Chain A
Amino acid sequence: KNQVEQSPQSLIILEGKNCTLQCNYTVSPFSNLRWYKQDTGRGPVSLTIMTFSENTKSNGRYTATLDADTKQSSLHITASQLSDSASYICVVTFNNDMRFGAGTRLTVKP
């Protein structure tokens, strides 16, 4: 069954701290994996895309990793800011379809 699971479900950290979000998937055949950021009341916006051959990709303070063998991905946020408070959603594409994780709700506190 094609599934995407994320952990933790929610996370609270202090401003300036780092954090790592996890995504495990069973989707096959794998095309790519994207991390989306969704601010409250808005639609998701893509942060990074990982293809099968890519292990690490950075976008500013966001770094995504992918292990296609174990079907795991992580999103690392460095030096968190208050504006990082949002839901982070892992999306895996296969064929012409996409599967969404339930998301991790991140709260950054001052």
Chain B
Amino acid sequence: DAGVIQSPRHEVTEMGQEVTLRCKPISGHNSLFWYRQTMMRGLELLIYFNNNVPIDDSGMPEDRFSAKMPNASFSTLKIQPSEPRDSAVYFCASRGGRTEAFFGQGTRLTVV
């Protein structure tokens, strides 16, 4: 398995634009997590899905953020409209049962 795959690796966009981050979890994993990492706040859990169903989205900063998981092999995190303070590295991770969480390489988002 190629591991958790995220795209794009880097995204630079202008303030106000819509940004969509994509994640393909490891096949067979039933939990998927979206995290945001900044120097100031470290890793923050945004939302996690279990069997494609959002379980806890209390970490989503505000209504500009939304996440979907239409099937077991794909998830998106959307920011609309984006703001400079959204600049961070966004990680996706997946886990099967009680195994460790495997992380993708992250998407570095810069909003100018």
Contact = CB atoms under 8 A, between A and B. Distances in A.
B103 A100 contact: no
Given A89-B43, A101-B42, A103-B43, A96 B31 contact: yes
Interface of A: 31, 34, 41-46, 49, 89, 91, 96-103
Interface of B: 4, 31, 33, 35, 41-45, 48, 50, 55-56, 91, 93, 98, 100-101, 103-106
A41 B56 CA distance: 27
A33 B56 CA distance: 20
A44 B91 CA distance: 9
Contact of B103 (A31, A43, A49, A101): A43
Contact of B105 (A43, A49, A97): A43
B56 A97 contact: yes
Contact of A43 (B44, B56, B91, B100): B91
Given A100-B35, A103-B43, 11 more contacts: A42-B105, A44-B43, A44-B91, A46-B101, A96-B31, A98-B101, A100-B43, A102-B41, A102-B42, A102-B43, A103-B42
Contact of B100 (A46, A96, A100): A46
B93 A43 contact: yes
B32 to A, nearest CB: 12
A103 B45 CA distance: 14
A110 B24 CA distance: 39
A93 B100 CA distance: 10
A42 B104 CA distance: 8
Contacts of A44: 43, 91, 103
B106 A43 contact: yes
Contacts of A89: 42-43
For the complex of A and B, 10 pairs with smallest distance between CB atoms: A43-B103, A102-B42, A100-B43, A46-B100, A44-B103, A43-B105, A103-B42, A43-B104, A43-B91, A43-B106
